[in-house]
Structure 1
Amino acid sequence: MPRRTSDRAQPPLGVNVRGHIEEMPGRRAPFRARVHWYDPETGERRRLSTSHETEEAAANWVTRMQQAAAGGLDLAAATMTLREYGELNMQLALRGLELKTTDPYLGGWKLRVVPALGHVPVRMITYGAVDRAVEGWIADGCSRSVVKNSLAVLVRVMEQAVRDGIIDRNPARITGWQRQYQQVQDELDDPRALALPDWNALVKLADALVARSAGQERIWREVVMFAACTGARIGEVSGCRVGDVDTKEWTWTVRRQTTPAPGGLIDKGTKGKRARVVPLIVEIRDLVERRIAETDGTRDARLFTGPRGGRITTAVLRDATYWDEVVTKLGYDHLRRHDLRHTALTWLADAGVPVHHLQKIAGHGSITTTQRYLHPDRRSVATAGELLSKHLSVPQGLRAV
Structure 2
Amino acid sequence: MANKPGKRRFGSIRKLPSGRFQIRYPGPDGNLRPGETTYEREDMAEQALALVEASLITGNWSDPQRAKVKLDKYATKWIAERIGLRPRTVEIYKGLLRRLIRPYLGNVTLAKLDTAAVREWRATLEAKGVGQSEIAKAYRFLRAVLMTAADDRVIPRNPCRIRGAGEEKPEERPTLPVAKVFELAKLVPKRFLALILLATFASLRWGEVAALRRKDLNLKAGTVSVRQQHVELDTGELLVGPPKSRAGVRTVAFPSAIIPELQEHVDTFVADEDDALIFTGARGGILRRSNFRRAAKWDENTKKIGFPDLHFHDLRHTGNTIAASTGASLRDLMDRMGHDSVRAALIYQHGTAEADRRIANAMDAMINPA
Normalising to structure 2: TM-score of the pair? 0.50
Q: Does 1:331 align with 2:314?
A: no
Pairwise mapping of residues 309-388 of structure 1 onto structure 2 (< 5 A)?
309-366=284-341
The letter of the residue matching 1:284 is I
The letter of the residue matching 2:239 is I
For 1:333 and 1:230, locate their aligned partners in 2 and report how far apart those are by CA, in whole Å: 23
For 2:238 and 2:145, locate their aligned partners in 1 and report how far apart those are by CA, in whole Å: 24
The letter of the residue matching 2:295 is A
For 2:323 and 2:307, locate their aligned partners in 1 and report how far apart those are by CA, in whole Å: 21
- CA positional deviation for 1:302: 1.0
CA distance change for structure 1 residues 330 and 354 in 2, over 3 Å: closer, same or farther? same
Equivalent position of 2:175 in the other structure: 195
RMSD of aligned alpha carbons: 4.2
CA distance change for structure 1 residues 321 and 150 in 2, over 3 Å: closer, same or farther? farther
- CA positional deviation for 1:222: 1.9
By relative contact order (CA 8 Å, sep 6+), the higher-ranking structure is 2
Q: Does 1:251 align with 2:226?
A: no
Normalising to structure 1: TM-score of the pair? 0.47
1:227·1:341 contact (CA, 8 Å) conserved in 2? yes
For 1:238 and 1:312, locate their aligned partners in 2 and report how far apart those are by CA, in whole Å: 6
Equivalent position of 2:169 in the other structure: 186
Deviates more, 1:333-342 or 1:273-282: 273-282
CA distance change for structure 1 residues 235 and 259 in 2, over 3 Å: closer, same or farther? same
For 2:241 and 2:321, locate their aligned partners in 1 and report how far apart those are by CA, in whole Å: 27
For 1:302 and 1:151, locate their aligned partners in 2 and report how far apart those are by CA, in whole Å: 40
1:108·1:149 contact (CA, 8 Å) conserved in 2? no
2:174·2:314 contact (CA, 8 Å) conserved in 1? yes
The letter of the residue matching 1:194 is P
2:238 paired residue among 255, 260, 265? 265
Equivalent position of 1:66 in the other structure: none
- CA positional deviation for 1:265: 2.6
For 2:321 and 2:256, locate their aligned partners in 1 and report how far apart those are by CA, in whole Å: 18
Equivalent position of 2:194 in the other structure: 222
**3-state SS of 2:225 partner:** strand
Q: Where does the alignment leave 5 or more consecutive residues of structure 2 unmatched?
A: 1-65, 100-131, 147-164, 344-370
The letter of the residue matching 2:245 is G
For 1:283 and 1:130, locate their aligned partners in 2 and report how far apart those are by CA, in whole Å: 43
The letter of the residue matching 2:85 is P
Q: Where does the alignment leave 5 or more consecutive residues of structure 1 unmatched?
A: 1-93, 153-180, 211-216, 369-401
Post-superposition Cα deviations, 1:347-368, rounded to whole Å, max 9, x if no partner, equal 0001222211110111112469
Q: Does 1:116 align with 2:86?
A: yes
Q: Does 1:207 align with 2:155?
A: no
The letter of the residue matching 2:262 is V
CA distance change for structure 1 residues 300 and 128 in 2, over 3 Å: closer, same or farther? farther
- CA positional deviation for 1:224: 1.1
- CA positional deviation for 1:337: 0.6
Equivalent position of 2:267 in the other structure: 293
Q: Does 1:242 align with 2:214?
A: yes
The letter of the residue matching 1:339 is D
Pairwise mapping of residues 28-47 of structure 1 onto structure 2 (< 5 A)?
none
Q: Does 1:280 align with 2:235?
A: no
The letter of the residue matching 2:174 is L
For 1:324 and 1:359, locate their aligned partners in 2 and report how far apart those are by CA, in whole Å: 31
CA distance change for structure 1 residues 118 and 242 in 2, over 3 Å: closer, same or farther? closer
CA distance change for structure 1 residues 296 and 322 in 2, over 3 Å: closer, same or farther? closer
Percent identity over the alignment is 23
Post-superposition Cα deviations, 1:293-338, rounded to whole Å, max 9, x if no partner, equal 3433221111111221122232222122232233234331331011
The letter of the residue matching 1:358 is L
For 1:109 and 1:246, locate their aligned partners in 2 and report how far apart those are by CA, in whole Å: 41
For 1:128 and 1:103, locate their aligned partners in 2 and report how far apart those are by CA, in whole Å: 13
Equivalent position of 1:37 in the other structure: none
- CA positional deviation for 1:281: 1.2
Larger Rg: 2
The letter of the residue matching 2:329 is P
**3-state SS of 2:261 partner:** helix
- CA positional deviation for 1:234: 1.7
- CA positional deviation for 1:96: 4.1
Equivalent position of 2:141 in the other structure: 147
The letter of the residue matching 1:348 is A
The letter of the residue matching 1:204 is E
**3-state SS of 2:332 partner:** helix
For 2:93 and 2:190, locate their aligned partners in 1 and report how far apart those are by CA, in whole Å: 30
